[in-house]
Amino acid sequence: MTAPAYDEIATHEDLVVWSRDYCKEVRREWLVDVRFDLVEWEVSTRAKRRAAAVKRPKIPEAEVGSPVDWETVEAAGGRRADGRPFPATLSLTWDAFEAFERTEWESTLRHELIHLEQYQRCGTTDHGPEFKARAEELDTEVHCETFSDPKYVLRCESCDALVAHRYRDCKLVRRADEYRSSCCESPLVVE
């Protein structure tokens, strides 16, 4: 699947494909040392604050700054005979994507790439001095990006039922009175 245009991202799959493409571009341009064949992707609709997160197995005695010899590592009940890192999962938060401007989403992905780079090299990752130096090089934040509550809540004019929430101005928000709620076939009210 080729990546959709950013403004046309409509599904979880779109978001993964677009984000993965962007990350590959960053790897080429900024020379980030990440193996994408060892990265799994998911979209979370549950995360409340964190824009994204890297999920990874806990590697005993791993330390940021000391490269790990993956061939000798035992974790998650097994060993990687081929010397490659255990796969990590990059979890993207759908609501954060909706809340953010494109530049903020891109910055979030660069932040997570640093976590992936540290993890694949050292078996663990944090927000310490090495992260800070790398974040400067990659023009991103040191702290994990967070996002806030939705800006707009749309309710059914007749029964007050919650119909939708949106993080930014969009057609649904601007022209709420042209839409009809499925509960009462009534116009929508924006709060």
**Nearest residue (CB) to Zn ion, 76 versus 183:** 183
Least separation in angstroms between residue 108's CB and Zn ion is: 9
Within positions 71 to 100, which residues make up the interface with Zn ion, using CB under 5 A?
none
Number of Cα atoms under 13 Å in the Cβ half of residue 154: 23
Is 162 among the residues that bind Zn ion (CB under 5 A)? Answer: no
Least separation in angstroms between residue 153's CB and Zn ion is: 14
Within positions 165 to 184, which residues make up the interface with Zn ion, using CB under 5 A?
181, 183-184
- Residue closest to 16 by CA, chosen among 101, 146, 144, 105: 105
32: CB partners within 8 A, 6+ apart: 26, 113, 114, 117, 138
**Nearest residue (CB) to Zn ion, 7 versus 185:** 185
Is 189 among the residues that bind Zn ion (CB under 5 A)? Answer: no
Least separation in angstroms between residue 138's CB and Zn ion is: 12
Within positions 130 to 159, which residues make up the interface with Zn ion, using CB under 5 A?
144, 156, 158-159
Q: What is the largest CA-CA distance in the chain?
A: 65
Is 164 among the residues that bind Zn ion (CB under 5 A)? Answer: no
Q: What number of residues does the chain have? A: 191
Is 53 among the residues that bind Zn ion (CB under 5 A)? Answer: no
Binding site for Zn ion (CB under 5 A): 144, 156, 158-159, 161, 181, 183-184
